[in-house]
């Protein structure tokens, strides 16, 4: 990870009690939230978590639930790993991260099954596969193990939101063009269909998710020159 950051304070920190006082939303902390939305987006810049981005973006609703689930999992596991960062034995740190992420995912899955059964059926294995989403483990290893609780929390939320932002944008276009609906409600008027408009069935297939992400990357790079490789 290029953005690996050292602990900002060189003084010993006891769990989350940081001796230096810093406003909660200082500029440095805000960057943790906003950076993954654009400059360092997990999907379009780091190209992580693409598999699930293809699979669950046919409709907005599952994409939104997936986003919220990933935000919950990443926020919580970043906080837990950050809290334990001075206790975790170095040699089994990956196992510890995996156990923490896996338990968070199981919790989310169980809660969805109890309170949002239909969505949980729709997302089926993809909730379980949050465990394998490289973004989650990547942030634990690169950030939470070396940073304080609050900063790690922001970083987790930020990266999950950056991931979810792409999911929602892609799902918006796929549902709109593929089924003429948004959140399951018909938005393209019947008159259009009578005039010969047809839903684009191709939008429902995963290749179009990849192409939509590609178009997004194109627009993002045209707008944000920093992202263009120099050579």
DSSP 8-state symbol, 185 = E
Give the one residue of 1, 47, 92, 187 binding another protein; rule: CB under 8 A: 92
Angle between helix axes 149-179 and 134-142 (nearest 10 degrees) is 160
Give the one residue of 2, 6, 17, 195 binding another protein; rule: CB under 8 A: 6
Report, in Å, the least distance between residue 218 CB and another protein. 26
- Angle, vertex CA 33, rays to CA 110 and CA 4, nearest 5: 95
Neighbouring C-beta atoms of residue 220, cutoff 10 Å: 16
186 is a contact residue toward another protein (CB under 8 A): no
CA-nearest of 7, 124, 120 to 65 is 120
99 is a contact residue toward another protein (CB under 8 A): yes
147 is a contact residue toward another protein (CB under 8 A): yes
Handedness of CA 208, 209, 211, 215 (dihedral sign): positive
**Distance separating alpha carbons of residues 91 and 216, to the nearest angstrom:** 40
Report, in Å, the least distance between residue 119 CB and another protein. 12
Report, in Å, the least distance between residue 9 CB and another protein. 11
Nearest to another protein of 13, 44 (CB atom): 13
Nearest to another protein of 106, 219 (CB atom): 106
Q: List the end-to-end C-alpha distance of the chain, in Å, as a whole number.
A: 21
Binding region for another protein (CB under 8 A): 4, 6-7, 12-14, 55, 85-93, 95-96, 99-100, 103, 106-107, 110-111, 113-115, 117-118, 145-147, 204-205
């Amino acid at each position: 990870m290029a953005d690996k950051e050292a602990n900002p304070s060189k003084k010993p920190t006891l769990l989350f009690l940081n001796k230096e006082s810093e406003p909660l939303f200082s500029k440095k902390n805000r960057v943790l939230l906003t950076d993954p939305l654009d400059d360092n987006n997990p999907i379009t810049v780091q190209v992580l978590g693409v598999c699930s981005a293809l699979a669950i973006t046919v409709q907005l609703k599952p994409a939104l639930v997936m986003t919220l689930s990933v935000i919950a999992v990443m926020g919580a596991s970043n906080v837990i790993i950050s809290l334990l960062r001075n206790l975790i034995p170095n040699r089994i740190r990956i196992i510890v991260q995996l156990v923490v992420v896996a338990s968070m995912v199981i919790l989310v899955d169980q809660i969805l099954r109890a309170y949002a059964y239909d969505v949980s059926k729709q997302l089926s294995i993809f909730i379980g596969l949050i465990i394998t989403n490289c973004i989650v483990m990547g942030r634990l290893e690169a950030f939470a193990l070396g940073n304080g609780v609050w900063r790690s929390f922001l970083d987790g939320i930020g990266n999950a939101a950056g991931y979810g932002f792409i999911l929602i944008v892609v799902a918006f276009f796929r549902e709109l063009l593929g089924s003429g609906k948004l959140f399951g409600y018909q938005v393209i008027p019947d008159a259009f269909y009578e005039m010969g408009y047809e839903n684009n069935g191709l939008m429902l297939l995963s290749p179009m998710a990849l192409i939509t992400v590609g178009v997004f990357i194109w627009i993002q790079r045209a707008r944000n020159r920093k992202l263009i490789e120099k050579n």
